[in-house]
Amino acid sequence: MGSAELLLGFLVFHLVKGDGTTYFSAPGRPATLPCPYHYEDLSPLPELSVQWRSPQNQLLCHYVKHKAFLNCSEGYGLSYSPARINLTVERVQERDYGTHLCSVNKRHEFTDSHVKLQRPEEESVTQLPGNGVTSSGHCWTLLPFLLMLVHYNLHR
């Protein structure tokens, strides 16, 4: 395994630490929230309806498969493929933090999923003396480790 793969694995491990229903994104960044459901595990359904609601219970996206209807609020998008329905927040704002509700229905069956979007855990900002550059606290504590890792892989 090369240093790039090892570094990527290390960063993904630290950035994607959730229980499967909590996702992290910084303000201004995009975020994709999945909607788990089981209706299309075996085969695609001709009729399906989806609604994504915000933490304030506002309708963000509404999709009706059999009518080819899709309507999303500005700044949000929905992508659908059988067994996968994702809400995309183009630029996360303060109002996007909290628990989103995804409701999927097929005829008379409903599945509600709750997906939480929250800020990354390291939100403290550290000012470096003299140069005005800012970074989250943990980035600078990881720097010596990352430099050692790159040095090790270059001299093997």
Bridge partner residues of 79 (DSSP): 86
pLDDT tens figures, 13-42: 333 333 348 999 999 999 999 998 888 877
- For residues 55 and 116, what is the distance between their CA atoms, to the nearest angstrom? 9
Mean per-residue pLDDT over the chain, rounded:
73
Output 42 or 135, whichever has higher pLDDT.
42
pLDDT-derived band at 87, boundaries 50, 70, 90: very high
Q: Average pLDDT in the 53-58 region?
A: 96
Instruction: Look at the domain 20-118 and name its fold.
Output: Immunoglobulin-like (2.60.40)
- For residues 47 and 44, what is the distance between their CA atoms, to the nearest angstrom? 9
**For the chain, what are the domain ranges?**
20-118, 125-154
pLDDT-derived band at 49, boundaries 50, 70, 90: very high
- For residues 32 and 122, what is the distance between their CA atoms, to the nearest angstrom? 20
- For residues 156 and 151, what is the distance between their CA atoms, to the nearest angstrom? 9
**What are the φ/ψ torsions at residue 88 (nearest 5 degrees)?**
-110, 125
Specify the pTM: 0.63
Q: Nearest-CA neighbor of 84 among 21, 130, 149, 38?
A: 38
